[in-house]
Structure 1
Amino acid sequence: MKELTSNQVASFWDSSGFEMDYVGALGRSGDLLCLWDPSVFKEQESIKDRNFLLLKGSVVGCSEPLCIMNVYAPQGTREKKNLWNRIADLKDKYAGMWLLLGDFNVVRFQEERRNSNFNPVRARDFNSFIFENDLVEYAMKGGKFTFSVGNKMNSSCLLLRKSTSGIDLFDFFNSWLDRDDFEGVIRASCDKFKSTSPTYLALMKKLKLIRDDIKKWWDKTKAKEGEKEKIVKAELDKSEMELETRELSEEEDWVILESLNELTKIANFKVTDIKQKSRARWALFGDENSAFFHNFVNNRKRKKFYPRYGD
């Protein structure tokens, strides 16, 4: 329905008073309706979108603002991702407690679907949206699915608590485990963590702290290794020019060999990371891993450039 009146929706409520707001339908879909008891929830403002209805207000007896969003997500992958971004922008703009509910048209995990196709890309985008915006999922009670047509079933239910710190999805590279200082970063994060929160919240906060410290360490490590790589390559280029005019001393040969070992170590880290990325992309998209193979070939060329000291 494009237009709704209180008389038309009164059948959804008991004899007591109610307030309402809605987004009219376009064709056969998109109609969003919210009803609430004004003695419990006080609406201050509403924001309407083709895919959501946001009510901003407060619960009687609670000073913290409450934002309730009724969601009707589109079908397309790109349209879904655009919606997640719009919701995230609003969440950053308006402080307080947030509650998201409605039809997200996507699930988080394959087991949440039955007799219907599971799309890993949409699930990945949805999970990223959840974690990046500190969303916590309600546990389903009374059944596994919230929607079913014949044998087709899916489920999803979300709760956002402003005080709960979520865990971002971020890439963890296996090559980090081979770096000497990585374990120290983890131990230092664990040692400095203090919390009086309940166990499940404390665990989430601890993992978030570890993640943030890993990100800071990785940014510094990448910058340090990038600078070291430039210096080593410059030294090797200088040594090559010296070779054209004279024989190098044993000490200079040793410096070149150490420089090559350092350069190879950095290159191997990069190749390992590229290989891991390529496998993840292949699992999701089935691509040809061209970036990995190009980097692998370039690495082999680099080694052949110094046959005297290479493998």
Structure 2
Amino acid sequence: MDWKFISLNIIGLGRAEKARAVRLLRNRKKPQMMFLQETKVTEFSNVLLRRLGVIQNQKIAFSPSVGSAGGILSVWDTNFFSVVEIYTLRNFVAVLGNIQNYEKVVGFLNVYGPSTEAEKREFFRELSVFLGSHNATWCVGGDFNAFLFVEEKIGYSWNMASTNLFRTFIQNTQLADLHLNGEAFTWSNNKEPPTFIRLDRFLVSHDFLAKFPCLNQNILAKSISDHNPISLENDGVNWGAKPFKLYNYLMEEERFVDLVTTAMSKPNSRRTKQGLFGKLKGLKGDIKTWSLDKRGT
């Protein structure tokens, strides 16, 4: 099954050229799911939806802006996804339902994280609780207004507090952060000296990744927003099993070195005799178990 999702912080849909840019992007890429953030729209009329290129077999869910701030819009193709539940909160819109030839409930969550540091702790807590309270296969995308690694920002005003919150959120929810093909950053302030940050991304649960092993996350050309659109595509090319990913920051956690030392010191089973490969395979399982156990700490 080939499909494409697109996410974009549009920074307002009030001007006709913004709606036209979205429609052109939709017509060119033909996504089955589209996430827009910072719409600055309180209500979506039929006229505005036509300007955005939303056609008859597509449905929407949105969180209205508060005055001229915020606003989230999700658009999906009903031939691809059948919605059962919709949740609209200030910082995210979630739609849960079914996709073809997949028996599990799938959730698509469109995120627009707060820009102020004081609100980010509650935002990630609320998001984590919401994901944990629904038995679904998850695809989460949007503008998190936070970055994961030091390599994802060039410029001034470093604040590692929000980075650590974001890292903890991903560790607790066990979402997979996919490699971004193309440029390394999704936003710039267009000033001198410039600041570049990766604020936008898709995160998926491991069962979503198992269902769609051909995922590619790509950065698209910037047009009328200072954010680049990003796409998540299932392109039909299976490159094999996904590698086990270990984030560097996990190695800074207390007791991690002891965990590795203990796992590598275990004697091999006489029945398997897999040598180093067996030890590494066992270590992988121990790390996953340890990471899950840390949710409650």
TM over 0.5: yes
> In 1, distance between residues paired with 2:109 and 2:291?
34
- Match runs of 1:100-179 below 5 Å: 100-150=140-190, 151-155=194-198, 156-163=200-207, 169=250, 171-173=253-255, 176=258
> More helix by proportion, 1 or 2?
1
Matched, 1:74 2:151: no
Instruction: Report the equivalent of 1:17.
Output: 57
- Match runs of 1:263-282 below 5 Å: none
> In 1, distance between residues paired with 2:267 and 2:134?
31
RCO comparison, higher one (Cα < 8 Å, 6+)? 2
> In 2, distance between residues paired with 1:48 and 1:214?
30
> In 2, distance between residues paired with 1:215 and 1:7?
48
> In 2, distance between residues paired with 1:129 and 1:135?
9
Q: Which amino acid aligns with 1:171?
A: E
* Structure 1 contact 58–64 (Cα < 8 Å) conserved: yes
* 1:77-117 CA-partner distances (Å, limit 9, x unpaired): 34212111111112111112111111111101122112242
Identity of aligned residues (%): 20
Q: Which runs of 5+ in 1 are unaligned?
A: 217-311
Task: Please identify the structure whose Cα radius of gyration is greater.
Answer: 1
> More strand by proportion, 1 or 2?
2
* Structure 1 residues 90 and 162, CA gap change in structure 2 (3 angstroms): farther
> In 1, distance between residues paired with 2:204 and 2:256?
32
> In 1, distance between residues paired with 2:256 and 2:283?
21
Matched, 1:207 2:251: no
Aligned alpha-carbon RMSD (Å)? 3.6
Q: Which amino acid aligns with 2:151?
A: E
* Structure 2 contact 263–286 (Cα < 8 Å) conserved: no
TM-score (norm 1): 0.56
1:60 Cα offset (Å): 2.1
Q: Classify the secondary structure of the residue corresponding to 1:117.
A: coil
Q: Which runs of 5+ in 2 are unaligned?
A: 1-40, 210-243
**Larger displacement relative to structure 2 (134-143 or 29-38):** 134-143
> In 2, distance between residues paired with 1:123 and 1:208?
26
